Amino acid sequence: MADEQQLFKVTIDNITVEVEPGTTILMAARKIGGDVTPPAMCFYSKLQGSGGKCRTCLVEVSKGSEKDPRPMPKLVASCRTTVMDGMEVKNITSAKVPEARAGVVEFLLLNHPLDCPICDQAGECHLQDLGYEHGKEGTRYEFSRRTFEKEDIGPYIQLHMTRCILCYRCTYVAAQLTDNRVHGVLDRGDHAEISTYISKAISNDFSGNMIDVCPVGALTDKTFRFKNRVWFTKPVSAHRNCDKCCGKVTIWNRGDEVLRVTARKDEWGEVESYDGKPGWICNTCRFDKKKMSDWTIEGPANINRHSVISTNHYVGAQKPAEFLPELMGGRNPKMLMDIHDVSDVNDPKVDLSLLPGPATGATFTKTKEQ
Amino acid sequence: MTQLTQRAKQVDRKPMTLLERIYLWNILKGMMITISHLFKRKATIKYPEEKRTFSKVFRGVQILNRDEEGREKCTACGLCAVACPAEAITMEAAERQAGEEHLYKEEKYAAKYEINMLRCIFCGYCEEACPKDAIYLSQTFAPSNYGREGFIYKKEDLLIPHPIENPEAYKKALGEKGGNA
Do A97 and A161 belong together in one domain?
Answer: no
Q: Is A254 exposed, middle or buried (0-12, 13-18, 19+ CB in 10 A)?
A: middle
Are B148 and A346 within 8 A, CB to CB? no
Cross-chain residue pair A359–B92, CB shorter than 8 Å: yes
Strands A273-274 and B135-137: unpaired
- Same domain flag for A189 and A239: no
Residue B108 forms contact with A (CB below 8 Å):
yes
- CA dihedral (A188, A191, A195, A199) positive or negative: negative
* Preferred mutation among B89, B112, B113 to probe A, highest tally of A CBs within 10 A: B112
Complex-level ipTM: 0.82
How near does any CA of chain A get to the CA of B117, in Å? 12
B155 in Cβ contact with B110 (< 8 Å) = yes
Judge if A9 and A81 occupy the same domain. yes
- In whole angstroms, what is the distance from residue B60 CA to residue B136 CA? 9
> Are A211 and A279 in the same domain?
no
Please tell me if residue B5 touches chain A, with a CB cutoff of 8 Å. Answer: no
In a shared domain, residues A43 and A98: yes
**Residue A363 within any structural domain of the chain:** no
Q: Which residues contact A259 (CB under 8 A, 6 or more apart)?
A: A224, A227, A228, A233, A252, A253, A290, A352, A353
Among B76, B94, B154, beta carbon nearest to A360: B94
Q: How far is B156 from chain A (nearest CA, A)?
A: 12
The answer to whether residue A326 sits within a structural domain is no
Residue type, B90: T
User: Would A77 be classed as within a structural domain?
Assistant: yes
CA-CA distance, A19 to A6, in Å (whole number)?
9
Note whether A280 and A304 are same-domain residues: yes
Within 10 angstroms of residue A116's Cβ, the number of other Cβ atoms is 21
**Within a 10 A sphere around the Cβ of A91, how many other Cβ atoms?**
24
How far apart CA B131 and CA B111 sit, in angstroms, is 18
Mean pLDDT computed over B36-43: 92
Residue at a domain's end among A104, A128, A162: A104
The answer to whether residues A48 and A172 touch, using CB atoms and an 8 Å cutoff, is yes
The full DSSP string for B83-144 is H-TT--EEEEEEEPPTT-TTTBSSSEEEEEEEEETTT-----HHHHH-TTS-EEE-SSPPPP
State whether A68 and A147 are in the same domain. Answer: no
Q: List CB contacts (< 8 A) between A345 and chain B.
A: 90-92, 112-114
Domains and CATH numbers, chain B: 62-180 (3.30.70.3270)
Q: Is B139 on the interface with A (CB under 8 A)?
A: no
* Smallest Cα distance from A159 to chain B, Å: 14
- Find out whether B181 and B136 touch, Cβ atoms under 8 Å: yes
User: Closest Cα to residue B137, out of B178, B170, B167?
Assistant: B178
Q: How many domains does chain A have?
A: 3
Q: Is the sign of the CA dihedral A122, A45, A86, A61 positive or negative?
A: negative
pLDDT at A1: 46
- What chain B residue is nearest to A365 in terms of C-alpha separation? B111
C-alpha Rg value of chain A to the nearest Å: 24
The pLDDT of residue A370: 42
Does residue B135 carry a pLDDT above 80?
yes
Which residues 117-176 of A have a C-beta within 8 angstroms of B?
117-118, 122
Is residue B181 pLDDT above 60, yes or no? no
For A226, the closest of B87, B94, B149 (CB atoms) is: B94
Residue A201: predicted pLDDT: 59
Q: Is residue A293 part of a domain?
A: yes
Domain that holds residue A189: 143-221
Which among B77, B92, B149 has the least Cβ separation from residue A364?
B92
**A194 and A282 share one domain:** no
Q: What is the pLDDT along chain A (370 residues), one digit of tens a residue?
A: 455 568 999 999 999 999 999 999 999 999 998 889 999 999 999 998 899 999 999 999 999 999 999 999 999 999 999 999 999 999 999 999 999 999 999 999 888 888 999 999 999 999 999 998 888 777 788 888 888 888 888 888 898 989 999 888 988 888 888 776 767 777 777 778 777 664 565 778 888 898 999 999 999 999 999 999 999 999 999 999 999 899 999 999 988 899 999 999 998 889 999 888 899 999 999 999 999 999 999 988 988 888 888 887 777 788 888 888 888 888 888 888 888 888 888 888 888 988 888 998 888 875 544 4
User: How large is the greatest C-alpha to C-alpha distance in chain B, in angstroms?
Assistant: 93
Query: Are A188 and A273 members of one domain?
Result: no
Binding residue numbers of B: 74, 77, 80, 84, 120, 123, 126, 130
CB contact under 8 A, A232 and B82: yes
CA pair distance B181, B135, nearest whole angstrom = 10
Per DSSP bridges, beta strands A15-19 and A58-63 are unpaired
Give CA separation, A324 vs A318, A319, A327, A330, A332, in Å: 17, 14, 5, 8, 7
- Nearest CA-CA distance, residue B19 and chain A, Å: 59
Query: What was the pLDDT predicted at B27?
Result: 93
**Strands of the B89-95 sheet, one edge to the other:** B89-95, B108-116, B152-153
Cα–Cα distance between A35 and A97 in angstroms, integer?
A: 13
Inter-axis angle of helices A126-133 and A96-108, to 10 degrees? 130
Mutation test of the interface with chain B: which of A118, A308, A353, choosing the one with the most B Cβ atoms within 10 A?
A118
Looking at the partner chain, which of B78, B106, B152 has a beta carbon nearest the beta carbon of A232? Answer: B78
The minimal CB distance from B77 to the residues A117, A225, A357 is found for: A117
How close, in Å, is residue A146 to chain B by CA atoms? 18
Phi-psi region of A311 (alpha: psi -120 to 50; beta: other; left: phi over 0): beta
In a domain, A361, yes or no: no
Classify A266 as helix, strand or coil: coil
The alpha carbon of residue A278 and the mean position of all alpha carbons in its chain are separated, in whole angstroms, by 15
Buried b (16+ CB within 10 A) or exposed e, A215-239: bbbbbbbbbbbbbbbbbbbebbbbb
Residues recorded for chain A: 370
Q: Are residues A181 and A90 in the same domain?
A: no
> What is the secondary structure of A11-70 as a DSSP string?
EETTEEEEE-TT-BHHHHHHHH-GGGSPP-SS--TTSTT--SSS-TTEEEEEE--SS--P
Nearest to B112 by CA among A260, A347, A115, A117: A347
Provide the b/e sequence for A137-163 (b: ≥16 CB within 10 Å): eeeeeeeeebeeeeeebbebbbbbbbb
Closest B-chain CA to A359: B94
A358 contacts B94? CB cut-off 8 A: yes
Asked whether the beta carbons of residue B114 and residue A337 sit closer than 8 angstroms, the reply is no
CATH of the domain at A12: 3.10.20.740
Q: A229: distance to nearest CA of chain B, Å?
A: 7
Residues A189 and A236 in one domain: no
Q: Which of B:33-52 have CB within 8 Å of A?
A: none
A356 touches A227 (CB < 8 A): no
**Minimal Cβ distance to A345: which of B114, B131, B148:** B114
Q: Is residue B57 scored above 90 in pLDDT?
A: no
CATH number at residue A169: 3.30.70.20
Of B81, B95, B152, the CB nearest to A226: B95
Rounded to two decimals, what is the model's pTM?
A: 0.83
Helix, coil or strand: residue A237 = strand
Asked if A83 and A152 sit in the same domain, the reply is: no
- Listing DSSP states for A289-345 in one string gives --SGGG-EEEEEPP--TTSGGGTT--TT--PPP--HHHHTTTPPPPPS--HHHH--T
Select from A221, A249, A264 the last residue of a domain: A221
pLDDT value, residue A319: 85
Residue A132 domain flag: no
Of the candidate ranges A75-79, A366-370, B29-33, B162-166, the one whose mean pLDDT is the lowest: A366-370
B101 to chain A, any CB pair closer than 8 A? The answer is no
Please tell me which residue of chain A has the smallest CA distance to B83. Answer: A311
Closest C-alpha to B153, from B125, B122, B109, B117: B117
List chain B residues with CB under 8 Å of A118: 75, 77, 106-108
